[in-house]
Amino acid sequence: MLAYLYLAIAIVAEVSATCALKASAEFTRIIPSLIVIVGYGVSFYLMALVLETMPVGITYAIWAGLGIILVAIVGAVVYKEIPDFPVIMGMALIIAGVVVIHVFEKH
């Protein structure tokens, strides 16, 4: 169960870093740039810990799928980048794929 906690924190760190990447203005703003570096570092370190107990395919599917959804939500709220219907449908398919992988995994 600790692996899921690490994975959740890794996802939040990655989403924070990705959102700060836009705010960094091509690494010309120091605080967002530091958030990018620390966020990705924390994310990959925790993901490495998760990979000790979870299969890489499952780990990455959850990490990438939830990361995409959360970045889109933050983008909509913070940057007013509202996704259109095809984007929303694509995200719904990503969520469905993560659920299918997780429910039907055999290990």
At 84, give phi and psi (nearest 5°). -85, 180
Q: In terms of residue numbers, what domain contains 51?
A: 2-104
pLDDT band at 1 (very low <50, low <70, confident <90, very high): confident
- Residue 65 in this model has a pLDDT that exceeds 80: yes
pTM of the entire predicted model = 0.86
- Site of tokens 């993560």: 98
Number of domains, the chain = 1
Q: How many residues does the chain have?
A: 107
**C-alpha distance from residue 101 to each of 18, 31, 42, 55, 64 (Å):** 25, 37, 25, 11, 13
Overall average pLDDT of the 16-21 stretch = 96
Reported as type and span, the H/E element at residue 48 is helix 30-50
Overall average pLDDT of the 52-63 stretch = 90
pLDDT given for residue 104 in this prediction: 83
